[in-house]
Amino acid sequence: MRFDILTIFPELFTSPLDEGILRRARQAGQISVNLHNIRDWATDKHSSTDDRPFGGGEGMVMKPEPLSACLRDVQAGCQGKVILLSPRGKTFTQQTAERLSVEDCGKLVLVCGRYEGVDERFSRLHVDQELSIGDYILTGGELAAMVVVDAVTRLLPGVLGCPDSAARDTFSRGLLKHGQYTRPREFCGLSVPEALLSGDHGRIEEYRFLESVRETLHRRPAMLASIEWSTNEIKQLKKGGLYQDVQRVMREHGC
């Protein structure tokens, strides 16, 4: 997967890309991340990438000319999906990351908005999709772009050490992940749940499933509304005494 990032602050990406899984994925050739400083395509002596908005108002707006020129060169020879990181975009989810990880072109172009946003004409002419990582405002799209790179990269084949890790993530099944435990068996008077020490893989899987449902019921009940339960899962919910609670929550959220 190739990521091309259009930004006026490329240095913001240096440390995150040189650490952990992203560093290993780059070294292994599983991803490439190319940073493009939009200022290099500005044409005035001050390398301006923003200007005051027509009609007046607060702040500055990113100019369409350097953005378009930068994108034109980035897209030369290999067209990729163009994504603008913007507060008005569709909320970025695990499902979005999954879709982006299997893009046919194998290339994503991430445009980092700044100030009051980018000139609307650039968006209309060039942007395939706008994405937001949440209902809050950042100083720019760089951190949001880094979130997209990280979330998509870990879904690519071979990137994670355990091939089942991505499939069992929180949100991948529509449930929050169950609690995790490691050594020691006892810590500050709290013990690891007996089911996890049983060696019975079926029992462990059932325990983890029910704990995921309990966590979701407690923390994010609305997530349950979109889940289609298998016959075996319904049996486990009834056995674990959670079926009625799940049914109640699903009714409350329109199912």
Of the candidates 169, 215, 233, 245, the residue annotated as catalytic is 169
Structure tokens at 93: 């989810």
Is 239 in a helix, a strand, or coil?
A: helix
Structure tokens at 55: 């009609």
Q: Where are the domains of the chain?
A: 2-153, 186-252
Could you give phi then psi for residue 81, rounded to 5 degrees?
Answer: -75, 130
Of the candidates 154, 173, 214, 220, the residue annotated as catalytic is 154
Q: What angle do CA 139, 76, 12 make, to 5 degrees?
A: 25
Fold: same for 2-153 and 186-252: no
Of the candidates 16, 87, 193, 221, the residue annotated as catalytic is 87
228 near 253, Cβ under 8 Å? Answer: no
- Please give the residue that has the higher pLDDT: either 172 or 111: 111
Note the pLDDT tens digit of each residue in 47-73.
999 999 999 999 999 999 999 999 999
Note the pLDDT tens digit of each residue in 150-164.
999 999 999 998 767
**Beta-carbon-side half-sphere exposure of residue 24 (alpha carbons within 13 Å):** 8
Mean pLDDT (the chain, rounded)? 95
Mean pLDDT of 134-144: 97
pLDDT at 161: 80
CATH class of 2-153: alpha beta
The verdict on whether 87 is a catalytic residue reads: yes
User: Which string of b and e fits 81-119 if b means at least 16 CB within 10 Å?
Assistant: bbbbbbbebeebebebbeebbeeeeebbbbbbbbbebbb
The verdict on whether 154 is a catalytic residue reads: yes
Is 84 in a helix, a strand, or coil?
A: strand
Indicate the CATH number for domain 186-252.
1.10.1270
Whole-model pTM: value is 0.90
The verdict on whether 116 is a catalytic residue reads: yes
